Amino acid sequence: MNVLPSGSAKQSVTLLGATGSIGVSALDVIARHPDRYSVHALTAHRNVARLEQQCRQFRPELAVLDDAREAGELQQRLHASGLQTRVRAGRRALEEVAGDGGSDTVIAGIVGAAGLASTLAAVNAGKRILLANKEALVMAGQLFMDAVVRHGATLLPLDSEHNAVFQCLPSGFRRGELVERGVARVLLTASGGPFRCLPTAQLAHVTPEQACAHPNWNMGRKISVDSATLMNKGLEMIEACWLFGLPGERVDVVVHPQSIIHSLVEYVDGSMLAQLGNPDMRTPIAHALAYPERIGSGVAGLDLVAAARLDFEPPDVSRFPCLSLAYQALEAGGDACISLNAANEVAVDAFLHGKLRFTQIADLIQAVLERLGAEPVLALDDVFSADERARSLARERVGGFLQ
């Protein structure tokens, strides 16, 4: 994993997914250090109001929205206020702004498969990438990591778990050489989500609002549901394997309800290193932005006396089978992880719109995986083809589940 040396020059940042929870937290950190960071570009899906407010505060050169009409509306508002920000629209514009020469750092915060192409554009431009889009590695792990090496990009993990692992690994480590450096295994911690103690019989009747009420973290709706099903931890397991060059059997998951320990690394001598902190995404964002230095994040220090206790338990995969499905997809190889991710995105969306019960999310994913098997992935076109194939099958199957 390449790491750029620190320097006195101000970093120019492009933020993909500026209006989501990662984007808002990242801009909070950036605003605390105007001497270190400037904002080159901000992108969003549809949240025009929030993007307008962000443009007024950070005055980027570029802003990107999905919809051309909304982009035109935002352009008029900004110019009427005297701002020179240029507003563009569409996926092509998103990829171009991710790879243009106006920034040296790209924060990849777009959730789901929609963030893959733009994140790869930043990789292909050889940039410093702060990765919060785990689906990029779940869908295109080998292709993605090969591109990082080929283009000399710098990849720093932004997910709290992977950032915690990164902080606990040997200094100067090389991806794929951790076992030789004495790493026995990585442990990703999971809160267990809002339904950890809910009786199994009640899981089929939980609502989207209940699933999105995470006990510790403030996150978007999709990732909150993934946390409730433990699929988020499955996707993070796959991401960790690609990030650090480890096989699935060396990446375990442990439920830690307090979300104080964000992940751990166990060494062959019996030592175990852990990264602790209050559950706030500004901590890993600040760490990755300034690495190898440290800067203030706005997060209060951890009061161990107030925390009082740290509990751990194994994940209950009989109640939350999505975690097992992720391990199965990783072992199957080929495009199985692409199918896993695509089916999950369709299933979660169906659940959020009342078309699927909570317990049927895993059922739908398993049905898609069993139907499609695992085909080789040799190029990016294979990734997108497999993604669309799995999505189409998942959409076809949704209707039959509630009948």
Note the pLDDT of residue 5: 43
Number of domains in the chain: 2
Over residues 350-359, the pLDDT tens digits come to 999 999 999 9
Same structural domain, 95 and 235: no
Let me know: does 342 contact 387? Beta carbons within 8 Å: yes
> What's the CATH code of the domain at 138?
3.40.50.720
Residues 63, 51: Cα–Cα separation, whole Å: 8
Q: Two tokens at 332?
A: 């199957």
Same structural domain, 223 and 129: no
Distance spanning both ends of the chain, measured CA to CA: 49
Domain boundary among 97, 123, 158: 158
In a domain, residue 293? The reply is no
Residues 193, 197: Cα–Cα separation, whole Å: 9
In a domain, residue 78? The reply is yes
Q: What residues in the chain have per-residue pLDDT under 70?
A: 1-8, 217-218, 402-403
Smallest CA-to-CA distance from 253 within 190, 321, 185, 162 is with: 190
Note the pLDDT of residue 8: 53
- In sequence order, what E strands does 256-349 have? 261-267, 272-276
Domain that holds residue 356: 173-279+315-397
Same structural domain, 333 and 255: yes
Same structural domain, 243 and 100: no
Same structural domain, 139 and 196: no
Same structural domain, 21 and 93: yes
Same structural domain, 146 and 181: no
> What's the CATH code of the domain at 375?
1.10.1740.10
Residues 75, 64: Cα–Cα separation, whole Å: 10
Note the pLDDT of residue 6: 45
Same structural domain, 224 and 373: yes
Give the angle 288-233-264 at the CA atoms, nearest 5°: 55
In a domain, residue 132? The reply is yes
Let me know: does 90 contact 77? Beta carbons within 8 Å: no
Predicted TM-score (pTM) of the model is 0.92
Residue 196 is given by DSSP the state T
Same structural domain, 122 and 258: no
Residues 381, 379: Cα–Cα separation, whole Å: 5
Same structural domain, 222 and 330: yes
